[in-house]
Amino acid sequence: MQDDQLDGHDRRILKVLQRQGRITNQELAEQIGLSPAACWRRVKALEASGVIKRFAALVDPARVGQPLCALVMITLRRHSLDSTTDFEERVTRYPEVLQCYATTGNADFVLRVVIEDMAAYDRFLNEKLFTLPGISQVHSNFVLRAIKDETAIPMP
């Protein structure tokens, strides 16, 4: 299912579910203006098509002992398919890395890392990132505070 295949009901369902992931199907159907059966079928179709990737709880990192957030820019020495694939496979295994993006510009990859403190970040760099082959440069920026931290995709 692609954007041009989503109708108004689908978009309203997505808008509600992004804000209230634990809403019951009955409540969702009432808000959207569909029968519960029709609403359930639409949600299942959105899941099956991959529009809805998964349902998850959003956890406050600081409240679970992970208050330090770093945005890490990584540049590789070479840009071959093997070197980038190897890097991608390895970095996705690190639980501290919440997001990894291949980017254009000054860095080849940008990571979002959450971790306990600066000492733990130093260990992460030395024991994990710096052991990866093919890395040329690593630049870290530390988040002072979140100004906007949304997860919902806008639904026109």
What would the CATH number be for the domain defined by 61-142? 3.30.70.920
Q: Span 49-78, mean pLDDT?
A: 96
Distances (CA, A) of 9 to 16, 27, 130, 150: 11, 14, 48, 22
**Residues 120-144 pLDDT 10s:** 999 999 999 999 988 999 999 999 9
**Residues 95-123 pLDDT 10s:** 999 999 999 999 999 999 999 999 999 99
Check if 3-48 and 61-142 are the same fold: no
State CA 39 to chain mean position distance.
26
What would the CATH number be for the domain defined by 3-48? 1.10.10.10
CB contact at 8 A, 99 and 49: no
Q: What is the pLDDT of residue 2?
A: 61
Q: Where are the domains of the chain?
A: 3-48, 61-142
- Confidence class of residue 61 from pLDDT cuts 50, 70 and 90? very high
